[in-house]
Structure 1
Amino acid sequence: MTLIRNMARDMRLGAHLLLIGNQGVGKNKITDRFLHLIQRPRQYMQLHRDTTVESLTMQTTVENGVLRYQDSALVQAVRAGHVLVVDEADKAPLHVIALFKSLLDSGTLLLGDGRRIQPHSAPACDRSIPLHPDFRIIMLANRPGFPFLGNDLFGVLGDLFSVHMVDNPSRESELQMLKKYAPDVEDATLLKLMAAFTELREMVNEGILHYPYSTRELVNIVKHVN
């Protein structure tokens, strides 16, 4: 809850949030819970290595055999003042991430169809989209480098976001969570599995293993045992 309180404080101050942590530590679940608690509507987009600038601002659909263009989650969030959740942000090329930097830095962004996102206070015109004052971004990213080979978003966007590191939960919190996923498994068995994962994580820290075993893998195991 400390992390969620810190996120709420920063968002109340008008900041955008960048959550960085290994894959499987629960960044999405934390974000879902956070937005539920503060009762903010959201738009969602997941980036990947083939994400382009065009796909960030416009999405295509086929209706009755006709190709149609619609505003992307980014444009919809800008227009309505929603929270935009950007998942797997470290996977996108840096020139695509630079689009977010431009938008947050200047409040303006030129879209592919000629429209322009601009600050809410700027004079309106037919082709302008005012940047809603309640618009916020929560960006989720893995740690840079091996094994996920993601980009270093902190180096690119750290000055525009409030950065929060997400780690595996404490031993007590992890046990309580596992008991909810596996109510029929004895505590002794859960503690043994937790001890095994603690050892695996220590081996990662020592450089013996490269894959950062997370709570996600542990949850999958206890669900199977249950």
Structure 2
Amino acid sequence: MKSLFLTGSPRVGKTTIISKVIKYLQTTYPETILLHGFYTSEVTTGLNKNNSRIGFDIITIDGKRGVLSRKKDYWTGEPPNAIAPKVGEYIVDLKEFEKIAIPAITIKIGGDDKESKCKKQVVIIDEVGKMESFSNGFNEIVRNLISKGKKNENDICVVGTVALKHGGLAEEIRNKADAGLRRKQKSIDVEEENLVIWEVTNENRERMVNKVVIELEEMLNIRKE
């Protein structure tokens, strides 16, 4: 199983690229590719053109939506636990995140599901960041996904975004990709090195959607007819 992650500065356009890739795959390969996973979306006050960000939502490929985080003044429902994880001003709704994200990225490899047997599978993970990494269950699944299988397997792949500077799981993924790159540069064929990370910048983001699509088609060994 191969994995491709995008990284880059906040608001450089990583999620926008992922959203466009999702739309392309759904439109171009509806009979060939089965998509799983989730992406995140900023939530703002929406009051005017200068609206401010108040949190993030998580949205699955099949349309389920829930709260990932909110600022304290915009929290709804039951009051957050006193030990609820926080990132800056944002309180993470870990229970809601796990309820939605974990089923979305949990796939059956070689299972009895007819659809998953007949199609290539792409798991979307947007993103691996500080908020998401508070979940031990999420961390375990992502680690398993990016380390499972051999690099010549082309029925399943992972596409996601990873924080540029955060530690924890994000740092593990960046380090794993760096290690694979160093081995490749030394012409060492290491079969388990199946992870690539590309950095998105203001200069290359307009070209990145096409680059990701081409890489995915190669990973899955498919081509548009």
**Shorter-chain TM-score category?**
0.3 to 0.5
Q: Considering fraction of residues, name the structure with more helix.
A: 1
TM-score, normalised via structure 2 length: 0.40
Q: Tell me which structure has the larger Cα radius of gyration.
A: 1
TM-score if structure 1 supplies the norm length? Answer: 0.40
**Higher strand fraction: Structure 1 or Structure 2?**
2
